[in-house]
Amino acid sequence: MKKKVTIIGYGKMGKGVEVELKRLGADIHLIIDNEDDWALNWGKFLESDIAIEFTTPDTAIQNFKRCFDAGVPLITGTTGWYDRLDEVLEMAKKQNTSFIYGSNFSIGAQLMFQLTSCFGKLMSQYEEYNCEIHETHHTTKLDAPSGTAVSLAQILLPELNRLQEWHLAPPLIDNSLPIYSHRVGEAIGEHTVTFSSSVDSLTITHQAHNRSGLVQGAVKALFWLLDHPGIYNFSDIFMSIK
């Protein structure tokens, strides 16, 4: 029996998810894109087996709460709300629901997270190198820095004792890791970690060529969650998702 999938958010990612789900023959039960959709379709939403959400930082928390209250398992790729992560996880636990969140569902980005961890461990020995992160996205992306850039910073900071926090640059701040956010045209997403000294620089970069990697990872997570109830960060489980 096909599971009933609700798509919450019908922007570029939501439409991409729709195409991928149709390709796989899934049952797209409902598409919700605004408050009117919620009001008109709440009864139908309660029949959903699972939901996948790509919206905005301003609307995400309310969308999560609705899913948790309804007992509908949820995958979200929305970022910009992680300052309330503890609150959201507590809500999910209280309702005993299933939830996957992640700053980037691309397998390539997840591999970059692992490379960045190794990079930070190695470079912790060389204090003459300064570190910085650059991220570039399309001009309509609302949060800055990106969730992926923040994840990279959170991976690096425990390895680099000389840095105490991250900040959105400019300016430069002593003992702080600068993240530079660039908004350019229709850029899909590029993230770069650079260590520079007076004599040379070392850089690793992940550049998304399109949204397919994000969409495919999120849809794979959706089907995986149906068989593995619980609360997960995508970074902790992506190796298990086929």
Provide the edge-to-edge strand list for the sheet that holds 27-32: 27-32, 4-8, 50-53, 74-76, 99-101, 231-233
pLDDT attached to residue 237? 94
C-alpha span between 107 and 238 (Å, rounded): 7
**So where are the chain's domains?**
4-105+211-240, 107-207
Q: State the residue for tokens 């970074």.
A: 235
Of 12, 141, 167, 228, catalytic: 141
Which amino acid is it at 217? G
Residue 164 pLDDT:
96
Sign of CA dihedral 105, 106, 107, 109: negative
**Whether the Cβ atoms of residue 85 and residue 39 lie closer than 8 Å to each other:** no
- Using pLDDT thresholds of 50, 70 and 90, give the confidence band for residue 1: low
pLDDT at 133: 98
> How far apart (Å, rounded) are the C-alpha atoms in residues 206 and 108?
7
pLDDT averaged over every residue in the chain: 96
Picking from 154, 148, 166, the residue whose alpha carbon sits closest to that of residue 214 is 148
Catalytic: 3?
no
Catalytic status, residue 134: no
- Burial class of 190 by CB neighbour count within 10 A (0 to 12, 13 to 18, 19+): middle
Q: What would the pLDDT profile of 188-231 be if each residue is shown by its tens digit?
A: 999 999 999 999 999 999 999 999 999 999 999 999 999 999 99
Q: Quote the pTM value.
A: 0.91
Residue 39 vs residues 22, 35, 52, 175, 203: alpha-carbon distances, Å: 26, 6, 18, 48, 48
Contact predicate 178/167, CB 8 Å: yes
Domain 107-207: which topology? Dihydrodipicolinate Reductase; domain 2 (3.30.360)
From the candidates 137, 191, 206, 220, which is the catalytic residue?
Answer: 137
**DSSP assigned state of 15:** H
Pick the CATH number of 4-105+211-240 from 3.30.70.600, 3.40.1410.10, 3.40.50.720, 3.40.50.1820: 3.40.50.720
Do the domains 4-105+211-240 and 107-207 sit in the same CATH topology, yes or no? no
